[in-house]
């Protein structure tokens, strides 16, 4: 089909009475509703692979139409609209969360320039104590003793070390302007995160039961479970088995053999947002000692290295996800043995 996605091209397809349409599976997909609005069926998103040839949009369209006519392609997986919208929300939340981390890092750099070494005493620069100290600095408090008296939690036992870390050259007319702007930026980002969290919770309220079942997997918390549902969905009809899901997610070894010799086992790229979340979950599962996931990870790590062991743990989590969603049962712990 033509590469144009404008409304006239879509209306032309409807007028011509096409029963099937196909387009290259790109990172941004057209909404299914825009096709139904002009009377055409939902298009197939395909990844055609063939011999090397000249590369133009017209040549690609002709090639895709030809192999679609011959039945040589299968449609790519496209979640239903409910989970496509949920995916947009979880990805937006992740982007805002990453931006918040970057702003906090810039804040730490400003504090280092002002001679404030909070990270030498505290495990992280952004905490209730740090916020109280920064607010006091912006209000004109300069004494390290007075600033250290604002310590909260476990930092109270490190009062002397905190006083040394707060020996500073902070200038309100310079550092204060930057810090005030960064604090306002962080507050705005946190408000957006709260709004995203609330909206995602509302969207997932009908699926609360399966959401809780997914969280029974070691290393999978509430937000990770939300992302897994958004990226994969809850309908397993597109994946006949857990092996199909693992292959689509790019968490199983590749298969490249010829003449009885294995020439490589690199995994396919897979959806980057999903793989990043699976990596986060895998690191959490590795820390859960006394579980099958931890024992399996350590077994493969000793034989093949940490990178492949992490990939195996991601694979285990995807397999567990498929069985939980498909059968609506909690995670079954096999134990370290």
Other CB atoms within 10 A of residue 83 CB:
20
Cα–Cα nearest to 133, from 106, 168, 102, 95: 168
Residue numbers of the domain that contains 312: 207-327
| Segments of the chain with pLDDT less than 70 | 1-7, 9-10, 13-19, 24-53
Query: Which of 148, 175, 205 corresponds to the end of one domain?
Result: 205
Residues 45 and 87 in one domain: no
Residues 292 and 302: beta-carbon distance below 8 Å: no
Residues 100 and 22 in one domain: no
Residue 24 lies in a domain: yes
Residue 49 class from Cβ within 10 Å (0-12 exposed, 13-18 middle, 19+ buried)?
A: exposed
Residues 219 and 133 in one domain: no
CA 26/CA 225 separation, integer angstroms:
26
Residues 65 and 157 in one domain: no
Number of domains in the chain: 3
Residues 33 and 113 in one domain: no
pLDDT of 98: 96
Residues 133 and 193 in one domain: yes
Residues 315 and 271 in one domain: yes
Beta bridge partners of 256: 264
At residue 261, the 3 state secondary structure works out as strand
H runs (alpha helix) in 233-305: 242-249, 272-286, 292-304
Tokens describing residue 46? 């395909």
At residue 255, the 3 state secondary structure works out as coil
pLDDT per residue as tens digits for the range 214-263:
999 999 999 999 999 999 999 998 899 999 999 999 998 877 777 777 77
Residues 163 and 142: beta-carbon distance below 8 Å: no
Cα–Cα nearest to 170, from 109, 113, 117: 113
pLDDT of 34: 47
């Amino acid at each position: 089909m033509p590469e144009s996605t404008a409304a006239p091209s879509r209306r032309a397809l409807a007028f011509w009475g096409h029963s099937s349409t196909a387009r290259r599976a790109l990172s941004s997909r057209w909404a299914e509703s825009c096709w139904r609005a002009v009377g055409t069926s939902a298009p197939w998103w395909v990844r055609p692979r063939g011999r090397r040839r000249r590369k133009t949009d017209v040549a690609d369209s002709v090639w895709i139409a030809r192999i679609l006519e011959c039945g040589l392609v299968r449609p790519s997986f496209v979640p239903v609209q409910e989970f496509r919208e949920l995916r947009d929300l979880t990805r937006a939340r992740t982007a805002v969360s990453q931006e918040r981390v970057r702003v906090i890092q810039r804040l730490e750099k400003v504090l280092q320039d002002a001679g404030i070494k909070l990270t030498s005493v505290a495990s992280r620069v952004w905490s209730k104590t740090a916020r109280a100290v920064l607010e006091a600095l912006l209000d004109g408090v300069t004494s390290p003793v007075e600033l250290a008296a604002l310590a909260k939690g476990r930092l109270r036992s490190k009062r002397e070390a905190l006083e040394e870390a707060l020996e500073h050259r902070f200038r309100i007319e310079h550092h204060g302007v930057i810090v005030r702007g960064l604090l306002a930026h962080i507050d705005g980002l946190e408000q957006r995160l709260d709004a995203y969290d609330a909206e995602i919770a509302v969207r997932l309220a009908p699926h609360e039961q399966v959401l809780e079942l997914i969280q029974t997997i070691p290393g999978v918390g509430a937000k990770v479970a939300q992302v897994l549902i958004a990226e994969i969905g809850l309908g397993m009809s597109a994946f006949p088995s857990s092996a199909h899901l693992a292959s689509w997610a790019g968490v199983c070894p590749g298969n490249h053999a010829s003449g009885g010799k294995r020439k490589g086992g690199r995994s396919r790229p897979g959806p980057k947002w999903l793989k990043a979340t699976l990596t986060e979950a895998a690191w959490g599962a590795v820390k859960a000692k006394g579980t099958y996931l931890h024992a399996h990870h350590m077994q493969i790590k000793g034989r093949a290295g940490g990178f492949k062991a992490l990939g195996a743990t991601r694979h285990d989590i995807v397999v567990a996800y498929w069985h939980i969603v498909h059968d609506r049962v909690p995670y079954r712990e096999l134990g370290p043995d």
